[in-house]
Amino acid sequence: MTTRRSLLALALLPAGAAAADDTALQRAIRDAVGDAPITDGGIALRVPATAENGGQVPIAILADSPMTAADHITGIHVFATANPAPGVASFSLTPLLARAEVHTRIRLAEAQRIIVLAQSNDGRVRRATAEIRVTTGGCLT
Amino acid sequence: MTAPLGPPRIRIPRSARAGEVIEIRTLIEHPMETGLHQAGARRDMLTRLLVRMNGETVLAADVRNGTAANPYHVFFVRIERTSSFDFTWTDEGGRSARTEARVTVG
């Protein structure tokens, strides 16, 4: 009985931690795009499958958009779901850009899922995600 | 503590054809110290990169804890005429670093 209860407690601990992380993540996403509905597709996230150095992980975000005054991406937001703070960066885009494409380098504390969102001028939000393995965590260097 | 930011480094073509899409790469040397991981480490973070072309905003990057040290950004602009670019980084203390570039169309 005791063993069973301990096992149950052990099983519950990570779930509790994950729920707290989700709250921080959800808050960061809400701060970025409000309550706009989010759909997958129309955006690509290019990352390495494995990052040797979590302190410098190259990523590229590319949303499908003509980038005209009438139809363009206004914001791209990057979230690292398992970092101490999930917010990585937010980009404000204008039709002066030829493409809704940004490359940057991010920090990852550990292996995790990256989420990128792109919001267009009609308010719609698209999402892409990618899993990255991390050899050496980046938030401690 | 009050050392100037920078220096920024920009890679941008000196000339382009009208209508050409050019790639712009920017990098600024900065520790992006979050202050989270070492006892006594003072937070020292950039907060924004603003890129303007002929005075109009092209791109703004709001960088947070997950942005790597020496922030690096690549983006693509369509050039229609000879244009001047202005790149300004600002840190959380309000200090800034600025650099300019010119792309000639002709």
CATH tag, B8-105:
2.60.40.10
| Mutation to test the B interface, candidates A56, A78, A79, A91, most B Cβ within 10 Å | A91
What are the residue boundaries of the structural domains of chain B, listed by start? 8-105
pLDDT tier at A12 (50, 70, 90 boundaries)?
Answer: very low
* Within-domain flag for A141: no
pLDDT of residue B5: 81
Shortest CA distance to A88 belongs to which of A78, A96, A98, A97? A78
Q: Are B64 and A89 in contact (CB under 8 A)?
A: yes
> What mean pLDDT, rounded, does chain A reach?
88
Query: Apex CA B1: angle with CA A141 and CA B6, to 5°?
Result: 70
Taking residues B6-31, what's their average pLDDT?
95
Q: Are B61 and B84 in contact (CB under 8 A)?
A: no
Asked if B46 has any chain A CB less than 8 Å from its own CB, the reply is no
| Residue tagged 């990570």 (tokens) | A14
Q: Give this complex's ipTM.
A: 0.94
pLDDT one-digit tens code per residue, A30-80: 999 999 999 999 999 999 999 999 999 999 999 999 999 999 999 999 999
Sequence-ordered list of residues with C-beta below 8 angstroms from that of B71, at least 6 positions apart, any chain: A104, A105, B27, B28, B30, B32, B46, B49, B61, B63, B89
pLDDT of residue A140: 53
Shortest CA distance to B61 belongs to which of A61, A39, A114? A61
* Within-domain flag for A50: yes
* Within-domain flag for A130: yes
> What mean pLDDT, rounded, does chain B reach?
93
pLDDT tier at B6 (50, 70, 90 boundaries)?
Answer: confident
Asked if A82 has any chain B CB less than 8 Å from its own CB, the reply is no
Whole-number Cα distances in Å, B75 to A14, A49, A61, A112, B26: 39, 23, 10, 25, 9
Structural domain count, chain A:
1
Chain B CB contacts of A60 under 8 Å are 74
Shortest CA distance to A55 belongs to which of B32, B40, B92? B32
pLDDT of residue B7: 84
pLDDT one-digit tens code per residue, A102-119: 999 999 999 999 999 999
Answer whether A107 sits within 8 Å of B65, measured CB to CB: yes
Q: Are B54 and B78 in contact (CB under 8 A)?
A: no
pLDDT at A101 over 60: yes
pLDDT of residue B40: 75
Asked if B56 has any chain A CB less than 8 Å from its own CB, the reply is yes
pLDDT at A124 over 60: yes
Answer whether A88 sits within 8 Å of B67, measured CB to CB: yes
The residue range of the domain holding A112 is: 2-136
pLDDT of residue A50: 96
* Within-domain flag for A104: yes
CA A56 to chain centre: 16
Q: Is the dihedral angle over the CA atoms B38, A56, A40, A93 positive or is it negative?
A: positive
Taking residues B35-43, what's their average pLDDT?
80
Q: Which amino acid makes up residue B96?
A: S
Taking residues B67-75, what's their average pLDDT?
97
